[in-house]
Amino acid sequence: MALPREDEEQLTQRTSISPVLYDNLVHYFKYASCAYVPVCPRPNGRHLVLPFTNPVTDVQGYVARDNEKKELVVALRGSLSLTDFLMDGQLVLVPFISPGIKTTPDDIRVHSGFLTCWNSVAYEVIEIIKHELGSYPDFSITVTGHSLGGALSDLAAVTLKAKFPDAPLNAFSYGAPRTGNQAWAEFINKSFGSCMHRVVHTSDGVPTMIPKELGYRHHGIEYWQHTDPPSAESTTQCSADGEDPTCSASIPTMGINPAHVWYFGIMAATPFCY
C-alpha cells in the first residue's frame, strides 16, 4: 500500500530500524495473532502455559513460556465480537485503578472500556505469572496484542510491572488505539522508555480513531512501517513522546481498513500454533 502523503524523497530520508529489531517486531506480532485463535496448543511454537478468558467482557488471551529466551509472554486478543466493539466505544476517561497497582499519578486517566476489559482478567493473569515466576524466577515478561489487544497490553504492562518489579518487562502493541490522556502517556514513557514498542502499519486508521480532542494521547515509542512491502528499511522509529507529527499521526484516520488487518504481510488471526 502506497501512502499519498509523502513523496519518495521524504521517505528515503527516514532512519530505518535495525534488522534485529524488525525481526523482534514480527516475532511478537505472531504471538498477538495467535490470541485470536480459540485453541492454540503452541503459540508461536512455544509452550502454552494457560489460556484465559472472561465471558462477560469477552476478553481472551493466553500466557506462553519461551524457555530459550527465558520469558513469559502475555498475549491479548483484539476486537472480534459485538461485546468487544461495545467496550471499544466506552470513551470516558477514568482513573487507572487495577489489581496490583498501589500508586500512580493522580492525573492519570485511561479509556473506561479498555480498563474494564483488562480488569476482568487481571487477577487471573497475575496469578498465572506469579506461579510461573515461582518456578522460573529469572524469566522476563513480555506483553503483546493487536488492536484492542494492544490497548489492553498497555494496561497489562503497567499492572505487571507494578506487581513484579524485579522481572524485566517489554511490551509490543500493533494497531492499538490511544489508551489514555497525556499524563498516562508521560507515565508510560517515563516508566518503560525503549521497552515499550507501539507499531503502526502504513495508513492503519485505528491508532488515530480516538481523537486527541477527547483528551487522549499516544505514548511512545512508535515504529511506523510507512510503506509496503514490509522490511526494516520501510520501518522507522518515531519520536519517543508518542505523537510524532511526521509519522502515523500525520494521516487522517481511515478507521478499520485493510492496513489494520495486515501487519508485516501477516493477516491478524493467522494461527502460528505449530
In this prediction, residues 70-74 reach a mean pLDDT of 98
Output DSSP code: residue 44.
G
pLDDT at 139: 98
Please say whether the beta carbons of 196 and 220 come within 8 A: yes
pLDDT-derived band at 3, boundaries 50, 70, 90: very low
Residues 6+ apart with CB under 8 A from 58: 80, 81, 83, 84, 87
Which helix (H) or strand (E) segment is 21 a member of?
helix 19-34
260 has catalytic annotation:
yes
Which helix (H) or strand (E) segment is 172 a member of?
strand 169-174
Ramachandran angles phi, psi of 47, nearest 5°: -75, 125
- pLDDT digit string, tens, across residues 197-250: 999 999 999 999 999 999 999 999 999 999 999 999 999 999 999 999 999 999
Output DSSP code: residue 16.
B
Task: Please give the Cα distance from 128 to 62 (Å, whole number).
Answer: 10
In this prediction, residues 47-59 reach a mean pLDDT of 96
In this prediction, residues 89-116 reach a mean pLDDT of 90
204 has catalytic annotation:
yes
In this prediction, residues 34-54 reach a mean pLDDT of 97
pLDDT at 104: 79
Ramachandran angles phi, psi of 197, nearest 5°: -120, 115
User: Which of 251 and 88 is assigned the larger pLDDT?
Assistant: 251
Using the predicted structure, report yes or no on whether residue 7 has a pLDDT greater than 90: no
Query: Could you give all domains of the chain from N- to C-terminal order, each with its CATH number?
Result: 8-267 (3.40.50.1820)
- pLDDT digit string, tens, across residues 145-158: 999 999 999 999 99
pLDDT at 255: 87
Using the predicted structure, report yes or no on whether residue 130 has a pLDDT greater than 90: yes
- pLDDT digit string, tens, across residues 166-181: 999 999 999 999 999 9
Write down the pTM of the prediction. Answer: 0.93
- Candidate list 204, 219, 226, 234, residue with the active-site label: 204
231 has catalytic annotation:
no
In this prediction, residues 92-120 reach a mean pLDDT of 92
- Mean model confidence pLDDT for the chain: 92
Using the predicted structure, report yes or no on whether residue 93 has a pLDDT greater than 60: yes
- Candidate list 140, 147, 153, 248, residue with the active-site label: 147
Is residue 165 classed as helix, strand or coil in its secondary structure? coil
- Partners of 51 in the β-ladder: 62
pLDDT-derived band at 14, boundaries 50, 70, 90: low
Using the predicted structure, report yes or no on whether residue 121 has a pLDDT greater than 70: yes
